[in-house]
């Protein structure tokens, strides 16, 4: 089992032991009296990667770029243990919830932008130590390649590949191989692993820029 980043711990909350971070609740998750809140890996691809023991390379305090932030479920946990965290989300409705989450987190910066067009937020985002990607769209590898410019030389890409977003009819392993092959044009793949039992037909990928 890989080491967890500083600021992430395994805690017993409501009689169940699991990952937790310290911060205000964001989506109705259970908390304890010390301010820890459960990080549910079934609602978070990054949480599933950590719970599965993948070596994410995260140590805590990183500057992060989160692509596909949605309403803020996972990125709220990231902002609890990371440094400045830029949260890119394309859909206006979830961004309204994301803004509420950010109100209680001074390190979380929501951006109503399209992750496929990094030039639209390049003037805002500083170089980052980690890119976390959970974008449910065709061309997931291309999104990661387009955003590679933000990643420091020794940084990490932590990516969840959703097979059904690429091709709903193809065998997921075939899809994963194709995505990873494209991703390899700009990244060195350090680890890949299926995210079952937490998420069906998803692959977790840890990579660093070439």
Instruction: Give the residue numbers of the binding site for S-adenosyl-L-methionine.
Output: 73-74, 89-90, 114-115, 134-137
Contact, 195 vs 45, CB < 8 A?
A: yes
Please say whether the beta carbons of 108 and 79 come within 8 A: yes
Q: Is the peptide bond before 197 cis (omega within 30 degrees of 0)?
A: yes
Pull the structure tokens for residue 40.
């549910």
Annotated binding site: 73-74, 89-90, 114-115, 134-137
56 HSE (CA, 13 A, CB side)? 29
CA proximity to 105, closest of 91, 86, 127, 124: 86
């Amino acid at each position: 089992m890989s080491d967890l980043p500083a600021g992430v711990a395994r805690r017993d909350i409501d009689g169940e032991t699991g990952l937790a971070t310290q911060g205000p609740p964001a989506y109705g998750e259970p908390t304890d009296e010390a301010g820890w809140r459960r990080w549910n890996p079934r609602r978070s691809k990054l949480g599933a990667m950590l719970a599965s023991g993948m070596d994410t390379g995260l140590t805590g305090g990183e500057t992060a770029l989160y692509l596909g932030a949605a309403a803020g479920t996972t990125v709220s946990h990231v902002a609890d243990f990371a440094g400045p965290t830029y949260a890119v989300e394309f859909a206006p409705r979830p961004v309204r919830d994301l803004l509420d989450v950010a109100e209680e987190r001074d390190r979380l910066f929501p951006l109503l932008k399209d992750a496929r067009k990094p030039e639209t937020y390049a003037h805002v985002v500083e170089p980052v130590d980690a890119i976390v990607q959970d974008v449910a769209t065709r061309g997931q590898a291309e999104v990661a390649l387009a955003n590679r410019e933000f990643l420091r030389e020794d940084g990490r890409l932590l990516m969840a590949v959703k097979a059904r977003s690429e091709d709903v009819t193809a065998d997921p392993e075939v899809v994963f191989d194709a995505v990873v092959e494209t991703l390899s044009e700009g990244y060195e793949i350090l680890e890949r692993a299926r995210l079952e039992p937490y998420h069906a037909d998803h692959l977790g990928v840890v990579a660093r820029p070439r």
